[in-house]
């Protein structure tokens, strides 16, 4: 089943892939080439590292990326077309394993195979999470360098606030002083829609868990807010456009594209493994070559491929490695364990409003008109990701669910639940209706307790590993799935602002809701509506595409077997090895309750400084 069919039929018409040649981009290495640092994977983390390490003119850096350049791909540039890239030539096309919590369903998991990685295909939402996430990581790892007080400067290096595409006055929609001066361009929606002001008005009317927040990136991660996106001048701002394109003339950075790392090799003949050789190939059966870093290899292949490469290299659960005849170099059962993603349940309503953007998906002429307008001057609907407003809230302290477990969030300002408001039918798994006006509320669990895994199923890097996010497999998560729907239902039925939209639950939701107007959130888990809403969640959940946590960092002094063990030390070096670090979304030691790209950029900015300090480069 396809997760994102959104616009794919229409957008395939406009896809172009005109790779433009840029300096220092190679498809093979020179004989005798030597590098201080070899970075595997040119996604968010790899692009940031390539830039920050090559700032030091005395070091040579090699970045190896499995995909090619995103430049010239119109669907990467046009924000509204982002979802059409799932299942395209720049998607790894992973499929998750059948999900026991979803009645055996499985679906595709999108991951970018291109310079810029998943930031070229993502929905561009820009959240940095609450301050308390970083403080929690400092606590878990015993390294105060991760605390917000110490990491704020790295967040400020990642991005800067720019004007929205339509230049509207953003007073009250964002707090400029909370933003920094880095290369990723961030803006609020450049084409606000009628629904956006309805949700904001409702949030101001209702308060409580729906309370309006001027800026969700100012410390507290709770509230209803105008969504910020990695968009500047109406175009997607991604890791390659922000961190690589501006430094294309650096002579101490080489970028090897269309090349896949196949495993890492120990260069030590005895003692602690020293893992500085990267083996690579350009096709499944093609010749293997290798390159050895003089200082360090940094694995930034992302939350799926980084644990896959470690396991292929003999670093992982030894029973699994033994089954596949891979010699265990470092035994650690946590390599690939701990995969967590945010489950997302799309809720559809019909509306009597005629100002939704449904016609874009229903009428090719409307689609082409919006696209032409974007091409003419980067304005109009297509400057936005398909949603402009989001809400984050907590399950309150007194809720019965806490009697059977600890808080799943990092702290009191981190959310458990989220909703994203879309002014049309946003299709997940089914084609949009050919007529009608709709509201979609994307309901998500952002602090789930379920944990899954990424485990290799063969000895080839060209076979996909078994990816199991284990969605909705804990009592907390199934409770939270019902709770998030009930909270949204209650908001819709009690806030007068929504009354003007004439909302009615649509499709399977119509029979799951006993009655939109009745607020039955007090019902216990044994009642009929609870059962119906849970069935709806099980049948319709997908994910927000935020997998993380497969190679967690931890206290540098804890051993593999201790309870606070992780895979990496608090400076992101692989425990039990020399010469090897991991920097990407794998390293999160606990679930981040927001859209995670800004967190990956921020973690990587710190990692770049840790590396520079270690080698005396600053």
Ligand X SMILES: Cc1cc2nc3c(=O)[nH]c(=O)nc-3n(C[C@H](O)[C@H](O)[C@H](O)COP(=O)(O)OP(=O)(O)OC[C@H]3O[C@@H](n4cnc5c(N)ncnc54)[C@H](O)[C@@H]3O)c2cc1C
Other Cβ atoms closer than 10 A to 103: 12
Nearer to ligand NAG, 325 or 524 (CB): 325
Q: Is residue 333 close enough to count as binding ligand NAG by CB under 6 A? A: no
Q: Is residue 562 close enough to count as binding ligand NAG by CB under 6 A? A: no
* Residue 125 tokens, joined: 């939402």
Q: Is residue 502 close enough to count as binding ligand NAG by CB under 6 A? A: yes
* Separation of alpha carbons 461 and 459, rounded Å: 7
Q: Is residue 93 close enough to count as binding ligand NAG by CB under 6 A? A: yes
Q: Is residue 605 close enough to count as binding ligand NAG by CB under 6 A? A: no
Q: Which of residues 190-229 bind ligand X (CB under 6 A)?
A: none
* Separation of alpha carbons 61 and 33, rounded Å: 11
User: Which of ligand NAG, ligand X, none does 585 bind, CB closer than 5 to 8 A by kind?
Assistant: ligand X
Q: Is residue 68 close enough to count as binding ligand X by CB under 6 A? A: no
Q: Is residue 365 close enough to count as binding ligand NAG by CB under 6 A? A: no
Interface size with ligand X, residues (CB under 6 A): 43
* Separation of alpha carbons 414 and 216, rounded Å: 11
Tell me which of 6, 53, 61, 66 binds ligand X, using CB under 6 A.
66
Output the smallest distance, CB 344 to ligand X, in A. Answer: 11
Q: Which of 192, 186, 193 is nearest to 233 (CA)?
A: 186
Output the smallest distance, CB 353 to ligand NAG, in A. Answer: 6
Q: Is residue 110 close enough to count as binding ligand X by CB under 6 A? A: yes
Tell me which of 78, 129, 335, 461 binds ligand X, using CB under 6 A.
461
User: Which of ligand NAG, ligand X, none does 500 bind, CB closer than 5 to 8 A by kind?
Assistant: ligand NAG
Other Cβ atoms closer than 10 A to 404: 9
Nearer to ligand X, 175 or 460 (CB): 460
Tell me which of 546, 575, 581, 606 binds ligand X, using CB under 6 A.
546
Q: Is residue 113 close enough to count as binding ligand NAG by CB under 6 A? A: yes
Q: Which of residues 336-355 bind ligand NAG (CB under 6 A)?
A: 352
Nearer to ligand X, 302 or 432 (CB): 302
Q: What is the DSSP letter of 290?
A: E
Q: Which of 188, 165, 526 is nearest to 378 (CA)?
A: 165
* Separation of alpha carbons 346 and 441, rounded Å: 6
Nearer to ligand X, 113 or 486 (CB): 113
Cβ(323)–Cβ(520) below 8 Å: no
Site track for ligand NAG across 193-232, x = CB under 6 A: ----------------------------------------
Task: Enumerate the β-bridge partners of residue 274.
Answer: 578
Q: Is residue 457 close enough to count as binding ligand NAG by CB under 6 A? A: yes
Phi then psi dihedrals of residue 508, to 5 deg: -60, -25
Q: Is residue 87 close enough to count as binding ligand NAG by CB under 6 A? A: yes
User: Which of ligand X, ligand NAG, none does 486 bind, CB closer than 5 to 8 A by kind?
Assistant: none
Q: Is residue 177 close enough to count as binding ligand NAG by CB under 6 A? A: no
β pairing state of 228-229 and 223-226: unpaired
Cβ(260)–Cβ(304) below 8 Å: no
Nearer to ligand X, 469 or 507 (CB): 469
Output the smallest distance, CB 572 to ligand X, in A. Answer: 12
Q: Is residue 595 close enough to count as binding ligand X by CB under 6 A? A: yes
Q: Is residue 373 close enough to count as binding ligand NAG by CB under 6 A? A: yes
Cβ(107)–Cβ(61) below 8 Å: no
* Cα dihedral sign, 42-4-236-20: positive
Give the range of 21-29, 89-97, 305-313, 418-426 binding ligand NAG by CB under 6 A. Answer: 89-97
Residue listed under structure tokens 């690589």:
244
Cβ(478)–Cβ(404) below 8 Å: no
Give the range of 221-229, 374-382, 557-565, 577-585 binding ligand NAG by CB under 6 A. Answer: 374-382
Output the smallest distance, CB 132 to ligand X, in A. Answer: 18
The 3-state DSSP class for residue 494 equals: helix
Three-state secondary structure string covering 188-237:
ECCCCCHHHHHHHHHHHHHCHHHCECCCCCCCCCCEEEECEECEECCEEC
* Separation of alpha carbons 220 and 412, rounded Å: 9
* Separation of alpha carbons 111 and 546, rounded Å: 10
Q: Is residue 533 close enough to count as binding ligand X by CB under 6 A? A: no
Query: Buried b vs exposed e over 278-304: b needs ≥16 C-beta within 10 Å?
Result: bbbbbeeeeeeeebebebbbbbbbbbb
Q: 269 CB contacts (<8 Å, ≥6 apart)?
A: none
Tell me which of 36, 65, 77, 91 binds ligand NAG, using CB under 6 A.
91
Cβ(452)–Cβ(304) below 8 Å: no
User: Which of ligand X, ligand NAG, none does 171 bind, CB closer than 5 to 8 A by kind?
Assistant: ligand NAG
Residue whose beta carbon is closest to ligand X: 43
* Separation of alpha carbons 495 and 493, rounded Å: 6
User: Which of ligand NAG, ligand X, none does 64 bind, CB closer than 5 to 8 A by kind?
Assistant: ligand X
Q: Is residue 500 close enough to count as binding ligand NAG by CB under 6 A? A: yes
Tell me which of 2, 24, 250, 451 binds ligand NAG, using CB under 6 A.
250
* Separation of alpha carbons 168 and 189, rounded Å: 9
List residues binding ligand NAG (CB under 6 A). Answer: 87, 89, 91-93, 113, 169, 171, 249-251, 324-325, 352, 373, 376-377, 379, 457-458, 466, 499-500, 502
Q: Where do contacts with ligand X occur on this chain (CB under 6 A)? A: 40-46, 64-67, 86, 110-114, 117-119, 121-125, 260-261, 300-303, 305, 309, 461, 545-546, 584-585, 595-598, 600
């Amino acid at each position: 089943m396809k997760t994102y069919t959104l616009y794919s039929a229409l957008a395939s018409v406009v896809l172009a892939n005109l790779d433009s040649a840029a300096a220092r981009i190679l498809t093979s290495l020179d004989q005798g080439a030597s590098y201080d640092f070899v970075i595997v994977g040119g996604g968010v983390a790899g692009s940031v590292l390539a830039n920050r390490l090559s700032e030091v003119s005395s070091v040579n850096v090699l970045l190896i990326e499995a995909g090619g350049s995103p430049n010239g791909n119109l669907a990467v540039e046009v924000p509204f077309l982002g979802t059409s890239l799932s299942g395209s030539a720049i998607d790894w096309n992973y499929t998750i394993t059948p999900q026991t919590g979803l009645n055996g369903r499985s679906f595709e998991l999108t991951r970018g195979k291109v310079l810029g990685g998943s930031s070229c295909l993502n929905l561009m939402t820009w959240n940095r999470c609450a301050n308390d996430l970083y403080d929690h990581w400092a606590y878990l790892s015993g390294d105060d360098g991760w605390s917000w007080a110490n990491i704020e400067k790295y967040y400020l290096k990642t991005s800067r606030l720019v004007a929205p595409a339509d230049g509207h006055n953003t007073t009250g929609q964002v707090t400029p002083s909370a933003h920094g001066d880095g290369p990723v361009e961030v803006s609020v929606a450049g084409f606000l829609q009628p629904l956006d002001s309805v949700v904001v008005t409702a949030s101001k009317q209702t308060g409580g868990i729906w309370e309006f927040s001027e800026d969700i990136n100012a410390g507290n991660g709770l509230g209803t807010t105008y969504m910020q996106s990695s968009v500047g001048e109406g175009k997607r701002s991604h890791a390659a456009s922000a961190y690589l394109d501006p430094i294309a003339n650096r002579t101490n950075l080489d970028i090897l594209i269309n090349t896949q790392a196949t495993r890492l090799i120990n260069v030590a003949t005895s003692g602690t493994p020293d893992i500085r050789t990267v083996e690579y190939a350009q096709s499944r059966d093609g010749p293997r070559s290798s390159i050895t870093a003089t200082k360090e290899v940094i694995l930034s292949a992302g939350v799926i491929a980084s644990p896959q490469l470690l396991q292929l290299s003999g670093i992982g659960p030894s029973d699994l490695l033994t089954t596949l005849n891979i010699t265990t170099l470092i035994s650690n059962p946590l390599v690939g364990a701990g995969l967590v993603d945010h489950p997302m349940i799309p809720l559809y309503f019909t509306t009597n409003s005629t100002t939704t953007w449904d016609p874009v998906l229903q009428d090719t002429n409307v689609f082409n008109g919006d696209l032409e307008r974007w091409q003419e001057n980067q304005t109009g609907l297509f400057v936005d990701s398909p949603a402009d407003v989001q809400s984050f809230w907590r399950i309150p302290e007194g809720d019965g669910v806490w009697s059977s477990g600890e808080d799943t969030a990092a702290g009191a300002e981190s959310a458990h639940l989220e909703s994203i408001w879309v002014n049309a039918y946003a299709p997940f798994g089914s084609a949009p209706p050919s007529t009608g006006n709709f509201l979609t509320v994307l309901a998500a669990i952002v602090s789930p307790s379920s944990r899954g895994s990424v485990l290799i199923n063969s000895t080839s890097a060209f076979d996909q590993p078994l990816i199991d996010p284990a969605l909705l497999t804990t009592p907390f998560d199934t409770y939270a799935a019902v709770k998030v729907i009930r909270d949204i239902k209650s908001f819709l039925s009690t806030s007068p602002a929504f009354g003007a939209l004439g909302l009615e639950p649509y499709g399977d939701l119509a029979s799951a809701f006993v009655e939109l107007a009745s607020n039955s959130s007090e019902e216990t888990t044994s009642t009929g509506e609870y059962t119906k809403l849970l069935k709806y969640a099980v049948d319709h959940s997908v994910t927000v595409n935020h997998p993380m946590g497969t190679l967690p960092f931890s206290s540098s002094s804890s051993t593999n077997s201790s309870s606070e063990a992780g895979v990496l030390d608090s400076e992101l070096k692989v425990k039990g090895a020399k010469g090897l670090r991991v920097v990407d979304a794998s390293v999160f030691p606990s679930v981040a309750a927001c859209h995670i790209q800004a967190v990956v950029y921020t973690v990587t900015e710190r990692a770049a400084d840790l590396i520079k300090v270690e080698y005396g480069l600053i």
